Structure 1
């Protein structure tokens, strides 16, 4: 299939993205909804989750992305591989997460290389806001975890600070993790490391 061309940046505070996405029926989108659920926030083209779903078929994977064309293409790729443990959903996670998933239904969350929104006046558009962390505290199971990664130190530090501020989560590493604890890297991670640049990553657990 040809590559889908979409805008690189989408303003999540635009009016059209402020309507919450209807929650999916997990019984409909996964063949075995009782499996542990991994939520990937900002999944882009979904290639990371495609590999994860094949590598760990005993988990379910839900990717959420604010750019509809990427979601449509990702679900086509999933169908071609006949993966019944993977689904992609178009939504603004900051608007939708409170009602998107049942309480304590998620085992793992990844937020990897989110848009850094470098300009100060745009930083309120960054995905990891206190309200998102609070919603994650509600949907993640006890013993579940969050992994954050970025190649921008300021963004990584801000994500870690905001998650650490919530008493539901405990940071598992004092310094940046030297290796990715997951078996599959994202495209951005591969490119960053190939260029000899650092990746700042940290993991948090909900006791």
Structure 2
């Protein structure tokens, strides 16, 4: 099986052209069913487990690596998961093209690449424009769920989301300002999270809810 590159440069010319497509809800799901999205899904272990546990919900995995998406689509078909879709996106370029405003119940951003080298920090995912786009696509009460195994990355994400300049977006930290959520509120875990916990390392988790309303149960 051909190996898929773990990292690509999202700032290269090939990826800077907006070409993401809207997600079309598959037949068989209620028009008002919950919608959850894994951003930068990679092998999508979290999405596969979540879709299998919640057949009434639309689960969407988005990634910039199209070979990865093709492999995930084939696996979803093999496993009969009609409620699991995969699509291309460069999060800092064309996420606005994928979902309508106020149509997503929960975004999951799980263990984004840390881009440790200082010269690569500009490739990191979370920036104010992306936070604004995600907030606009969340339904009232919808959630942005973020996890990282790198403290500096988690702290940078928290500083961006909780920047007072973004307060009008209405994203409220469920653990309190500058607080991390302890434990995994979901029954499912990504492959990266499973590896991190096996190594007895810490997962730095944040949960933000739009408009200070109670989130969905996460079950």
Tell me which interval the TM-score lies in, with the shorter structure as reference length.
over 0.9
Aligned partner of 2:22 in structure 1 is: 24
- State the partner residue of 1:187: 191
- Within the candidate set 8, 11, 18, 2:9 is matched to 11
- Which of 162, 175, 178 is the equivalent residue of 2:182? 178
1:148·1:201 contact (CA, 8 Å) conserved in 2?
yes
Displacement of 1:25 in angstroms is: 4.4
Residue 177 and residue 198 in structure 1: after superposition, are their counterparts in 2 closer, same or farther (change >3 A)? same
Q: Secondary structure at the match of 1:73?
A: helix
Contact 2:126 2:157 in 1 (8 A): yes
Asked if the contact 1:62/1:86 (under 8 Å) is kept, the reply is: yes
Partner Cα distance (2:209, 2:98) in 1: 21
1:71–1:89 Cα contact (<8 Å) kept = yes
Cα offset for 1:22? 3.7
- Aligned residue pairs, count: 204
The match for 1:69 is 67
Q: CA RMSD in A?
A: 1.3
Among 183, 190, 199, which residue is 2:203 paired with? 199
Mapped to 2, the partners of 1:145 and 1:52 lie a distance apart of: 16
Counterpart position of 1:108: 106
Residue 64 of structure 1 aligns to a residue in which SS? Answer: strand
Comparing 96-105 and 147-156, the one that deviates more: 96-105
Secondary structure of 1:115's counterpart equals coil
Gaps of 5+ in 2: 212-219
